[in-house]
Homo-oligomer: A and B are copies of this chain.
Amino acid sequence: MTVRFGLLGAGRIGKVHAKAVSGDANAKLVAVADAFPAAAEAIASAYGCEVRTIEAIEAAKDIDAVVICTPTDTHADLIERFSRAGKAIFCEKPVDLDVARVQACIKVVNETKGKLMVGFNRRFDPHFMAVKKAIDEGRIGTVEMVTITSRDPGAPPVDYIKRSGGIFRDMTIHDFDMARFLLGEEPVAVTATAAVLVDKAIGEAGDYDSVSVILQTASGKQAIISNSRRATYGYDQRIEIHGSKGLVSAENQRPFSIEVANGDGYTRPPLHDFFMTRYTEAYANEIASFIAAIEKDATITPSGADGLAALKLADAALQSVKEGRLVKID
């Protein structure tokens, strides 16, 4: 079976998915839609597909699945429309920044027996997958403490910050998902600390740029998350899991694995400086996983429920900062 795709949104991340779909032997990119015709045409030309409207894709008989890469505030509506239209849906995170809206959207997906995958790409990084595999194989025994370090090379523009939902919903949400993925048990309490250390303008926009979070599960497992919006040394993405029998960790990735030594010491190059080059393989694996799930009619992971769970943790973290206390998850 070849899964026939429509792409909604031809921006930066849309291009990544267009390439992944086109390069997959089990998929075909049939059409692309974008509010900016030039963007859609660029992808259509590069990958030999048609430009269509969203409505046309919704109604198309020759399209089985869509990839939603449009602006965040359109996600929930599009998921509902395409779920009703019977298309399998891959949607970039988040479904929405509002828990109630996400819940309503998931309700529609469930009622229409829709298929929805939410784009937590990091689960598909080969190194993080190898970490998960090591845990699942029992190599570290029972998971006890997860440590996630996640720092961006540089802060986004303040305009972006204002629309982002705040650092917990925009940035830490990836780490909340990763923590859930690795803990193997649902967090039941969140405590967080947040500050503005990188850029005052971020504070003036009502957000934070440096946060520390502790999650705790019912059995006492703990996850620590450390986030900064700026790291001079590149895109810092590390995970480490301490268990009853050992520890497993994934190193940072760098584009060039060389080392130069001289009187100043031994120097390796900085890390990747962009999430797209850091997670190139993750994006390809993610779409391949979506395609495989459709082909085999298998359960799709991460699901809308995973998106919702991570968002609830983000809301709880913000509440913890505001109220100076541990916040329990219902």
Contacts and interface: CB of A to CB of B under 8 A. Distances in A.
Given A212-B145, A326-B325, A23 B23 contact: yes
Q: Looking at chain A, what size class is its interface with the partner chain? A: 35 or more
A248 B257 contact: no
Contact of A228 (B145, B197, B258, B270): B145
Nearest to A325: B325
Contacts of A142: 197
A158 interface: no
Given A212-B224, A242-B231, A246-B232, A261 B251 contact: no
A127 interface: yes
Nearest to A225: B224
Contacts of A191: 191, 193, 214, 326
Contacts of A140: 260, 262
A228 to B, nearest CB: 6
20 contacts: A126-B256, A130-B269, A131-B258, A145-B210, A145-B212, A145-B226, A189-B324, A191-B214, A193-B222, A195-B221, A197-B219, A232-B244, A233-B246, A248-B258, A249-B258, A251-B258, A253-B257, A265-B268, A266-B270, A325-B326
Contact of A130 (B210, B236, B256): B256
B193 A151 contact: no
Nearest to A263: B232
A268 B270 contact: no
Q: Which of A126, A248, A259 has the most CB of B within 10 A?
A: A259
Nearest to A220: B195
A84 interface: no
A139 interface: yes
B260 A247 contact: yes
Contacts of A156: none
Given A144-B197, A220-B196, A231 B257 contact: no
Contacts of A233: 246-247, 261-263, 265-266
B262 A265 contact: no
A250 B247 CA distance: 18
A16 interface: no
Contacts of A224: 212, 224, 226
Contact of A193 (B130, B131, B214, B226): B214
A172 interface: no
A261 B254 CA distance: 13
A149 interface: yes
A46 interface: yes
B250 A261 contact: no
